[in-house]
A and B are shown apart, each in its own frame.
Chain A
């Protein structure tokens, strides 16, 4: 079945360093979403990418969707302690009779102040 792979599994950085997590799908995606889950919390939606090659920014966060719509990345510039948490990508298959979101296993980011 369809899988969404995410790397790295863990990333520890010093505050102020950059951080990137990568998401790869075995099949072409209709669109991709990113979520953040704080420790002890629940996943919270960050953004959705739909178009091939799309790039979106939210302050220090930059999201990219690959040209083939099989991969995506989230880059955080100059990390802060508030960025701590697990970042998940979630892929949606092309339109079919079902609507199904498949989550990657996430990248846990810790930031050393």
Chain B
């Protein structure tokens, strides 16, 4: 199994630019999660999907953040416009309900 695949692994962008993070979950998993990790706030759940449908987006910081899951094998997290305070590691993860959550290796975002 290839695991959860995220891209890009690293991104440095200027404030105001649009950032798109991509995720391919593990085949057959019906839950997909987007987390953000910073030193100050730890691991924060931003949004999660079940069978491609967004279930809980209460963790999305503000309207600048949006996430989509057009099909079972692909999801995006978009930040527009980006700000320096968005700098963090963004993890995508997938699971079958009640079972292990498998994390991708993360997308390290720096907004300057």
Interface residues of A (CB under 8 A from B): 31, 33, 35, 41-45, 48, 88, 90, 92, 98-106
The answer to whether A33 touches B100, judged by C-beta atoms less than 8 angstroms apart, is yes
Which of B11-19, B40-48, B68-76 lies at the interface?
B40-48
- Kindly state whether residue B25 has any CB partner on chain A within 8 Å: no
Which residues of B line the A interface, CB within 8 A? 31, 33, 35, 42-43, 45, 48, 50, 55-56, 91, 97-106
Contact of A33 among B35, B45, B91, B101 (CB under 8 A): B101
Q: Is the interface of B mostly helix, strand, loop or mixed?
A: strand
- Shortest beta-carbon distance, B38 to chain A, in Å? 11
A42 to B: closest C-beta gap in Å: 4
Count of chain A to chain B residue pairs whose CB atoms are closer than 8 Å in the complex: 47
> In chain A, what residue has the closest Cβ to B30?
A99
Please judge, given known A-B contacts A43-B91, A98-B56, A99-B50, whether A105 and B42 are in contact too, CB under 8 Å.
Answer: yes
Would you call B97 and A101 a contact (CB within 8 A)?
no
Given contacts A42-B91, A42-B103, A43-B91, contact A101 B98 (CB under 8 A): no
The 4 A-B residue pairs with the shortest CB-CB distance, nearest first, are A105-B42, A42-B103, A45-B100, A103-B43
Cβ-neighbour of A101 out of B45, B91, B104, B105 (below 8 A): B45
Cα A104 to Cα B48 with chains together (Å): 18
Q: Is the CB of A45 within 8 A of B98?
A: no
Instruction: For the complex formed, measure the closest distance between the CB of B106 and the CB atoms of chain A, giving whole angstroms.
Output: 5
Determine the residue in chain A with the shortest Cβ distance to B99.
Answer: A48
10 chain-A/chain-B pairs, Cβ below 8 angstroms: A31-B98, A41-B105, A42-B106, A88-B43, A99-B31, A99-B48, A99-B55, A100-B45, A101-B101, A106-B42
Q: Which residues of B contact A100 (CB under 8 A)?
A: 45, 48, 56
Task: Pick the contact of B98: A41, A99, A103 (CB < 8 A).
Answer: A99
Closest residue of chain A to B105, judged by CB?
Answer: A42
The answer, among B35, B42, B103, for a CB contact under 8 Å with A44, is B103
| CB atoms of A48 and B97 under 8 A apart | no
Let me know if A103 and B105 touch, CB within 8 A.
no
Q: Residue B103 contacts which of A43, A102, A104 (CB distance < 8 angstroms)?
A: A43
Name which residue of chain A comes closest to B106, CB basis.
A42
